Amino acid sequence: SSSNFSPRNCFLLEHCAPSCLTMATMACRHLLIKHQGSRNPVSRRTNASTSGVTREQAQAEIQTYIDKINAEGCTEAVFAKYAQERSDCGSFKTGGDLGEFGPGDMQKQFEDGTKATEVGKMSGIVESDSGTHIIFRTK
Mind telling me the catalytic residues?
A: 30, 89, 107, 130, 133
Closest CA to 36 of 59, 17, 54, 10: 54
Please count the CA atoms within 13 angstroms of the CA of 9 that sit on its side-chain side: 9
User: What is the SS3 assignment for the chain?
Assistant: CHHHCCHHHHHHHHHCCHHHHHHHCEEEEEEEECCCCCCCCECCCCCCECCCCCHHHHHHHHHHHHHHHHHCCCCHHHHHHHHHHHCCCHHHHHCCEEEEECCCCCCHHHHHHHHCCCCCCECCCEEECCEEEEEEECC
